[in-house]
Amino acid sequence: MRAFFLLFLLSACPAPETAPDPRGEALRLQSRASDLVAQNREEEALHELTHALQLAREAGDPALQAAILTKTGSVQLFLGDHGAAAASLETALSLYANASDPKGEALAWGRVAQAYVAMGAYDAAAGALQKARALGHTEEDPAANAVAEAVRMMQLASQEGPSTAFLRSFDKKLDLLAGGRLMCW
Could you tell me the CATH number of the domain that includes residue 63?
A: 1.25.40.10
Task: Report if residue 181 sits inside a domain.
Answer: no
Task: Report if residue 34 sits inside a domain.
Answer: yes
Task: Report if residue 10 sits inside a domain.
Answer: no
Task: Report if residue 1 sits inside a domain.
Answer: no
10 Å CB burial of residue 88 (0-12, 13-18, 19+) is buried
Task: Report if residue 86 sits inside a domain.
Answer: yes
Overall number of domains in the chain: 1
According to the per-residue pLDDT averaged within each range, which of 59-73, 117-131, 138-152 is highest?
59-73
**Residue of higher predicted confidence among 7 and 47:** 47
**Is residue 86 within 8 Å of residue 94, measured between CB atoms?**
no
What mean pLDDT, rounded, does the chain reach? 78
Task: Report if residue 108 sits inside a domain.
Answer: yes
Task: Report if residue 177 sits inside a domain.
Answer: no
pLDDT at 174 over 50: no
- pLDDT mean over 55-78: 95
Task: Report if residue 162 sits inside a domain.
Answer: yes
Per residue in 84-114, pLDDT tens? 999 999 999 999 988 888 888 988 998 999 8
Domain, as residue range, for 91? 24-169
